[in-house]
Amino acid sequence: MKPRLALAVIGDEIGPSLSEMLTFCAENDVRRLDMRTVDGRNLLGMELDEVDAIGKQLKAAGIAVPTFVSPVLKWVAPGKAPAGSKVDFAFDPATCPRDDALAHAFDVAVVLGATRIRVFSFLRYPGFAPHDLDAEMGRLIDLAGRSEVTVEVENEPVCNLGSVPELAAYFAKQMEEALGEEPFRLFRPLVDISNSWSMGQPPSDADIATLGPLVDLIHIKDRDLEARRTVPVGDGQVPWAQELTRLLSHVEAPEVIASLETHCPQDGRNATAKSVAALRRIAGEIDVEIV
């Protein structure tokens, strides 16, 4: 039996304000928002009482928050010089209201009622090796166990694990070295297939076979590969019907959060509405239930 897709939208892809997010949900029958920023402020930079006020408004509107789309480790690794330039939604941990940004991130997730937290792999630098992440990932897994919030590692082009192949190689190594499967109960790959296509590295069958059994959350957007820009789902060249069919054939979870990360700031609300409709259409075409 195919896993079902639970539709979510990253809130600030609609617009900056909470009111814009909530009216969009009402208009488009969306019941889940993955939260990242409100009014241009990252939730990781907020005090918990501010986050709680946001969470209460969402709950009152009947909106669940599956994932805190945090910027954890989307910053410069200690002692390393990043290879890139400007980074969207990067974060300076010094602006966190607590000295321990990792612990604060889990507290934010708990206050929101989120069962997942998105993390990265430091901004890309020369000479990266998978073991460079051991201390941070070990700490995150420990915090995950205390809070029962799953760590979701996303492939992000500006970070060391940028493509799906890089993410698959990392998790393959983790599974090879793990003594048992328990660490992976709360430590999973957040597969962003469009990010990989944008790098000219579409995932192979082997990559998907490695990651699929661990997947319970994906990010969905589309790309005009020739123009090198993000477009509403269905307007680009990422073959989503085929990619979803291939990925879901390996997924073991009964449900996968399919979170729309539209990345069309010039017309976020309309682009996201178009993407919601396209994902529902694609799910129908491949005979996958979407809830």
pLDDT tens for the 291 residues of the chain, in order:
889 999 999 999 999 999 999 999 999 999 999 999 999 999 999 999 999 999 999 999 999 999 999 999 999 999 887 776 667 767 899 999 999 999 999 999 999 999 999 999 999 999 999 999 999 999 999 999 999 999 999 999 999 999 999 999 999 999 888 755 566 789 999 999 999 999 999 999 999 999 999 999 999 999 999 999 999 999 999 999 999 999 999 999 999 999 999 999 999 999 999 999 999 999 999 999 999
Q: Report the DSSP pairing between strands 217-220 and 116-119.
A: unpaired
Q: What is the pLDDT of residue 218?
A: 98
Please give the full DSSP string across the chain, using - where no structure is assigned: -PPEEEEEEEGGGT-SSHHHHHHHHHHHT--BEEB-EETTEEGGGS-HHHHHHHHHHHHHTT-B--EEEEEET-SPPTT---S----TT---GGGSSSS-HHHHHHHHHHHHT-SEEEE---B--TT--GGGGHHHHHHHHHHHHHHT-EEEEE--TTBSS-SHHHHHHHHHHHHHH-SSSGGGGSEEEEEEHHHHHHTT-PPPHHHHHHHGGG-SEEEE-EEETTTTEEE-TTSSS--HHHHHHHHHTT--SSEEEEEE----GGGHHHHHHHHHHHHHHHHHHTT--B-
For residue 257, being part of any structural domain is answered with yes
Tokens found for residue 251: 């997924």
Q: What percent helix, strand, coil does the chain show, rounded to 5?
A: 45, 20, 35
For residue 290, being part of any structural domain is answered with no
For residue 62, being part of any structural domain is answered with yes
Residue owning tokens 């990067």: 90
pTM: 0.96
For residue 278, being part of any structural domain is answered with yes
Tokens found for residue 289: 């239930």
Q: What is the pLDDT of residue 202?
A: 97
DSSP label at residue 3 = P
For residue 112, being part of any structural domain is answered with yes
CATH number at residue 180: 3.20.20.150
For the beta carbon of residue 202, count every other beta carbon within 10 angstroms. 17
Say if CB 69 and CB 33 are below 8 A apart. no
For residue 110, being part of any structural domain is answered with yes
The number of folded domains in the chain is 1
Q: What residue numbers bound the domain in which 81 lies? A: 4-285
Q: How far apart are CA 87 and CA 159, in angstroms?
A: 10
For residue 291, being part of any structural domain is answered with no
HSE of 226, CA atoms in CB hemisphere, 13 A? 3
HSE of 149, CA atoms in CB hemisphere, 13 A? 29
